[in-house]
Each structure stands twice: as structure tokens, then as C-alpha cells.
Amino acid sequence: MSPHTIADTHTIRSHFPALERRQGDQVVAYFDGPGGTQVPRSVVQSMTDYLYLHNANTHWLYPTSEETDALIAAARTTLAEFLGAHADEIAFGANMTTLMFHVARAIGRTLQPGDEIIVTELDHHANIAPWQALAKERGAVLKWIPLDVHTSHLDFDAYVRALSPRTRVVAIGAASNALGTITDVRSLIAMAKQTGAMTVVDAVHYAPHHLVDVRAIDCDFLACSAYKFYGPHIGVLYGKAHAIAALDVPKLEPSPNAGSERLETGTQNHEGIVGAAAAVDFIASLAPAELGSRRERVAATFDALHHRGEQLVAHLWDGIGRMPWVTPVGPLPNSSRTATVSMKVRGGSEAAARALAARGLFASNGDFYASTVARRLGVEAEGLLRIGCMAYTTDREIDRLLAALHDLRS
């Protein structure tokens, strides 16, 4: 089925003031989306409106406090729709890493020595370090699912072998921020369920590219970060209602203990919460209104952007295929991947990123906190150059990038 028609790239770009930035005589091209996307006017406006017009702390009896309560409740509903959840299952926090440490600490209170936790070599360390710390504290056994460096996917057979009656936690990423690999978390979690393990998904790199469906994935917890999908710097956590209720979370006695609010510590980033909801609305707004619900429009936008992303990746892959000094890593174009392409560059990723930056091409380099991936690929020292294609990325920008990479040959 062909994707729905959504706003064209030119129209999408007009929403982002950052895209007008110039570097010398060049307009800046942002390839750093996997590290954090640019933010459209509507998101910034929602945050400004909040701070100018409704700013207050929560749960008091005057209008700005009531408005704050209403805006946060509405944002919970919006993020719930984004993830296919219920509003009571959405918590906000500083970022995904902080939320993950918080959940892990609470789960840790129930762990016994010899219990097993499964993590993967493909994950960002935000979904590894909290479990590593737990294993150390509680005497649990940490089992690693290896990355198959030939396919850029996890070793499925090793995963099956790792599951055991002692498995208490399975922590996996839905998409790799370093390689773009999409993992079939739904199948992995279905298998984990048979052991009774708690299942935790890192959707930080997946959520900006594909519609998350927590009911279909059937995980206990899933986290993402709004600043990766055109929103502000804030983390979003989904927890199944009964999994949240069962968590022995460290919390202040007087703070709310019902629903997902029990996962939130102290005063929240209200403007960030409002901005995260505005980011979801922005994504939905790119699809025709007649398509239906906000979730249906988000789905249509992601579908169409995925299609465009595949073309951009194919163009990029094809171009670097003619440059022996550049070696792409990760799954092939048109396979199960996001539009994030990492590559080894002769001379190292740092020199490459600097050379690109000088030409107004902003791209990240290093290991992107996916240090196990870098270790397995043997690029710890030289790092990778990472190109992220987002809603505002154009073919012309890929051409500029290819020209700059071409000039790195000498």
C-alpha cells in the first residue's frame, strides 16, 4: 500500500526556524537528528504560552494551577495516544536515562542473588548501565545478547538460549541509535513473557520514526525522549498499569501514589511536558486532518516519512559505495532499519565531523553511548560518523554531504 500524502519536505522545513541558520555562505544541514532533532515553532510556542500564561505549580485552587493540571493531564493523554497506551500509564521525567535508572532501582528491590537480567550488545548504554548496576548490587547475573556484526541484528538463537526460569528482566532496544537496526521486540518479548520476566523497551530511537504500539509489543515498560521527535528535552515512560502499581518506587510520602504519577519525583518540567505533547501534535499535523484520530495521523506521517527516509538512505548508501575511504555499517537500505546511517571514515570520525561542520553539515561522531556496538565493530578509537535523516532532510542535503565526504579522500 502506498503511503498517504503528507506535507511536502519544503512545507515541513518552513516550520523549523533552525533550518535558516547559515554557516558562511551555506545553509546548515542538520544530520544530527538521532542525537536530537530541531524543534518547530508550534512546539516552542506551546512552551512559551505555558510559561507566559499558565505557569504555576500543580494541584492548587487558583486558575493558573488548575490550568497547569489540565495541560499536564492533556499532555498525558496525547503521549498515551502516541504510544498506544492509556493516560494513567504515562509518566514524565528528566530524560530516558533517569527514568530507566528509577525503574531499575525499583525492580531491583525485588531481585534475589542468582536472578538473571538480559541486556543486549546493540543497546544504548542507558538501557544497559541501570541493569548492570542492579546486577552488581543484588548479586544478579547479567546475560548479554550478542550483536551479529555481519547482519547488524541481535543473535536470536543466543537470546532463546539465554532465557531461563531465573530470567527476571529483559531489557531491549526497539531500534539502534548507532546502526539504525530495528529489532523485532514484539517477538522477543512474547518469548520473555513465558519466563515471567519483566520486560523493558528502549524506544528512544524507534519512536521518532515509527508508530509505537505498546499493546502489540506487550512490554511492561517502554521509554522514549521527546527531544528526538521534534520536542523539548524531556523523557517519557510508559508502564503497564499493574506493572506501575507493583513497583516499589522510592518516593516522598505526600506525593501522589496513584497511576503513573507515582513514578514522577518532585516538580515536573511543565513546559517540557506541554512541549512534548505539542511535538506529537506537530507530527500529526503533517498528515491530512480527514485521516482521523491524532494517532492515525501520526501513523500516516511516519509511514510517509519512512518511505522518504528509505529513498534518502538509498541515495546516501549508493553515493558512499563509490568512496572506498568511507564504509557504511548497519543494515542495508530497504531492510528493517531507520534512516540513520553510520559509517567508518578513513582518518577517523572526528576529523570527518569537523570537516563537515566547516561546510555547514552538522553530524555527530563517536560511539553515541552505544559503546558495546563500537567495541564489537572494532571502532572504539576512530568512532563512527552518523548521518540521521529526519522529516526535514532533503536530497539536496545528501548531495552536499556526499560532495563533502568525497573531498575527504585525500
Ligand X SMILES: Cc1ncc(COP(=O)(O)O)c(C=O)c1O
Closest separation between CB of residue 128 and ligand X, Å? 10
Residues that bind ligand X (CB under 6 A): 95-97, 124, 126, 173, 177, 202, 204-205, 225, 235
Closest separation between CB of residue 64 and ligand X, Å? 29
Query: Cell 530511537 sits at which residue?
Result: 205
Give the C-alpha separation, 123 to 224, whole Å: 13
Closest CA to 181 of 34, 318, 304: 34
- Is the distance from CB of 273 to CB of 234 less than 8 angstroms? yes
Contacts of 105 (CB under 8 A, 6+ apart): 130, 134, 249, 250
For ligand X, the closer of residues 9 and 181 by Cβ is: 181
For ligand X, the closer of residues 144 and 325 by Cβ is: 144
Q: Which residues face 15 on adjacent strands?
A: none
Half-sphere CA count of 367, side-chain side, radius 13 A:
19
- Is the distance from CB of 223 to CB of 202 less than 8 angstroms? yes
For ligand X, the closer of residues 179 and 283 by Cβ is: 179
For ligand X, the closer of residues 369 and 392 by Cβ is: 369
Closest separation between CB of residue 28 and ligand X, Å? 21
Closest separation between CB of residue 298 and ligand X, Å? 20
For ligand X, the closer of residues 207 and 287 by Cβ is: 207
For residue 55, CA distances in Å to 183, 365, 394 come to: 41, 38, 38
Closest separation between CB of residue 89 and ligand X, Å? 19
Give the C-alpha separation, 377 to 381, whole Å: 11
For ligand X, the closer of residues 128 and 320 by Cβ is: 128
- Is the distance from CB of 282 to CB of 230 less than 8 angstroms? yes
Closest separation between CB of residue 239 and ligand X, Å? 16
For ligand X, the closer of residues 233 and 406 by Cβ is: 233
Closest CA to 96 of 222, 249, 230: 222
Closest separation between CB of residue 231 and ligand X, Å? 11
**b/e per residue 213-243 (b: at least 16 CB within 10 A):** ebeebbbbbbbbbbbbbbbbbbbbbbbbeeb
